[in-house]
Amino acid sequence: MLVRPASKVDVAQLVALMLDYIVDFYRQPDPGESAVTELVQDLLNNPGRGRQWVAETNGELIGFATLYITWNTVPVKQTGILNDLYVAPKMRGRQVGESLFKTVLSHVRDQGLAGLEWATATDNLAAQSLYRKMGGRVSPWLHFEME
């Protein structure tokens, strides 16, 4: 298995994985292939906004991670938000998620960002276990949202 930055040759496979993540895993409405393709291409063309990494084996993409970059006012530095970490169901339990997470964390540290933040569903116990194993801790901050 290889974890590496996403590239233009990955767009079709990455979009398919992202649609699985959105529709099958999170049970959200299908945003359409063109919308997801636009997102992937925007990140490829504007790495200052965010980056994606892919896990691949034998030429097949089996997972991905998406890191968005934003400013954190308190330390007056940019910080990373891990918005997505997904591994294809058939490849889970093989440390693919760990490898993706470690790669993102290394990037955050290498770039001198203020830190790495992420959220996960309260019922996603597998993700919580991974994040604790990686050294993550539950933030004292509450996460709010609106639609």
What is the residue-level pLDDT of the chain in tens, covering all 147 positions? 999 999 999 999 999 999 999 999 999 999 999 999 999 999 999 999 999 999 999 999 999 999 999 999 999 999 999 999 999 999 999 999 999 999 999 999 999 999 999 998 888 888 889 899 999 999 988 888 878
Residue 20: predicted pLDDT: 97
* 92, 130 contact by CB (below 8 A): no
86, containing H or E segment: strand 77-87
Q: Top-level CATH class of 2-133?
A: alpha beta
Positive/negative CA dihedral, 146, 46, 28, 79: negative
Residue 12: predicted pLDDT: 98
The whole-angstrom separation of Cα 12 and Cα 29 is 19
Residue 81: predicted pLDDT: 97
The whole-angstrom separation of Cα 119 and Cα 125 is 12
CB atoms within 10 A of CB 60: 11
CB atoms within 10 A of CB 75: 11
The whole-angstrom separation of Cα 55 and Cα 136 is 21
Predicted TM-score (pTM) of the model is: 0.92
